[in-house]
Amino acid sequence: MTSLKMVAFKNESAFTLVEVVAATFILAVTLTALIALYQESLGLSAGAGNVARATAFAQAKIEELRGKNFADLKNAIGQSAPEKSPDGVYTREVTISQETSDQKLLRIQILVRWQDDLGEQKVSLTTLLADTGNGG
């Protein structure tokens, strides 16, 4: 019958329980921080997307108004009716005013508002439109 011998391992390197626990703790803290950063970046990305869509919604209205007759725009001074975006998320307000320095210059301001997790947000675009005298 063979006997079992106890073999002593000397000069063998291994991790102690304290080292394993410390490494696990460091890994857990690092992963928690990375997950928090990831969630924050998702929120910032969504916010940037909202600003981009709101800006495009405002810019579309400016382009639409540039195609209108200057006299029609001049008649619309002081009139404003809020408009909803097709998805209903954004509200656009148009303000047309006369520039005091020049009768052939209109100031057009587009204000777009929306609600998100941080409350009401807004983007405003302003442009000047000149009467070129060619009817458009």
pLDDT in tens, the chain (136 residues): 556 666 555 656 788 899 999 999 999 999 999 999 998 888 788 888 899 999 999 999 999 999 898 888 988 888 888 999 999 999 999 999 987 777 789 999 999 999 988 899 999 999 999 888 765 5
Domain residues for the domain of 51 are 17-130
- Number of Cβ within 10 Å of residue 37's Cβ equals 10
pTM of whole model > 0.85?
no
**21: domain CATH number?**
2.20.25.110
2: in domain: no
Residue reference for tokens 């809020």: 82
Burial class (CB in 10 A: 0-12, 13-18, 19+), 63: exposed
91: in domain: yes
- Structural domains counted in the chain: 1
Which residues have C-beta within 8 Å of that of residue 108, sequence separation ≥ 6?
62, 65, 73, 94, 95, 96, 126, 127, 128, 129
